[in-house]
Amino acid sequence: MTTYSAFAQIIVAISIGYVWIFHFDNIAKEFKQYGLNDLTRGFVGATKIALSTLLVTGIWYPSLVLIPALMMAFLMITAQYFHFKIGNSWQKHIPSLLLLILCLFIATVSLKLFN
């Protein structure tokens, strides 16, 4: 399971980096639609990048994984909330939903709930 968790950690980190670095213009539009200001967007982005970095570092230092995975899962839950709030189509929900599932999987492996 540890190999799968490491793979999931890399997928989450790459996904976050890709969206927040290469598609920042889309993020800016979405945050405006959600009614959130630039400061909030900056805080969320910096937090997601930091958590992604910790998830990757956690491949070598497993004690670093649980809290970042749970915090990232929380951010994905809030993303789901805002998608519902403005009535986005299901296609807009899928990326954050998949990342939420991956983060919960990473957290459960970190807690050793699987053998």
Over its length of 115 residues, how does the chain's per-residue pLDDT go in tens digits? 689 999 999 999 999 999 999 999 999 999 999 999 999 999 999 999 999 999 999 999 999 999 999 999 999 999 999 999 999 999 999 999 999 999 999 999 999 987 5
The single residue listed with the structure tokens 């290469």 is 22
Give me the phi and psi of 37, to 5 degrees please: -85, 175
Contact 80, 97 (CB under 8 A): yes
